[in-house]
């Protein structure tokens, strides 16, 4: 999978302020906002501000500061949603990549889903 970043993707437009979003949290390296098509009562997307296509691209190419900032943002969103430190009933993080992962937006994003029983991790295709 080529990690060629297209800056016309929808999340790049959100980062540039060209499209509105429902922001939950923001720091220097990451933005978290509510998914437009929520699949659970809480469905937040956390994205890095840098041009990374997917999780492996980010993990291999981002700076340490970006990785820390992004990871801290995940933690802050869990706090904001009342999920951190064993509060709440748990949650699931999903990061889809590529064709088999059925990634629709080619800018790295981690889905945080919570607020209802989420079922088994995978269904048979």
With CB under 6 A as the rule, give the number of residues binding ligand DGP.
Answer: 13
Given the structure tokens 């590529």, which residue do they identify? 98
From the list 57, 107, 109, 111, the catalytic residue is 109
Q: Would you count residue 122 as binding ligand DGP (CB under 6 A)? A: no
Catalytic status, residue 109: yes
Closest-CA residue to 29 (of 11, 17, 47, 14): 47
Q: Would you count residue 80 as binding ligand DGP (CB under 6 A)? A: no
Q: Would you count residue 19 as binding ligand DGP (CB under 6 A)? A: yes
Stretch that binds ligand DGP, among 58-66, 68-76, 84-92, 95-103 (CB under 6 A): 95-103
Among 35, 67, 71, 72, which residue interacts with ligand DGP (rule: CB under 6 A)?
A: 35
- Neighbouring CB atoms inside 10 A of 125's CB total 5
Given the structure tokens 């499209």, which residue do they identify? 19
Planar angle of CA 99, 117, 113, nearest 5 degrees: 50
Q: Would you count residue 40 as binding ligand DGP (CB under 6 A)? A: no
Given the structure tokens 């889809």, which residue do they identify? 96
Q: Would you count residue 25 as binding ligand DGP (CB under 6 A)? A: no
Q: Would you count residue 71 as binding ligand DGP (CB under 6 A)? A: no
User: Which CA distances in Å does 77 have to 82, 89, 94?
Assistant: 8, 15, 14
Distance between CA atoms of residues 102 and 33, nearest Å: 20
- Site residues, ligand DGP (CB under 6 A): 10, 19, 21, 33-37, 96, 102-105
Active centre residues (catalytic): 109
């Amino acid at each position: 999978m080529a990690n060629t970043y297209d800056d016309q993707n929808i999340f790049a437009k959100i980062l540039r302020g060209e499209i509105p979003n429902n922001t939950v949290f923001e720091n220097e390296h990451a933005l978290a906002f509510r998914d437009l098509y929520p699949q659970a009562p809480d469905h937040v997307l956390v994205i890095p501000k840098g041009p990374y296509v997917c999780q492996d691209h980010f993990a291999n190419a981002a700076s340490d500061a970006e990785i820390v900032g992004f990871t801290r943002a995940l933690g802050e969103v869990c706090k904001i949603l009342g999920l951190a430190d064993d509060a709440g009933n748990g949650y699931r993080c999903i990061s889809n990549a590529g064709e088999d992962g059925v990634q629709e937006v080619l800018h790295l994003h981690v889905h945080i889903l919570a607020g209802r029983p989420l079922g088994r991790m995978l269904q048979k295709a």
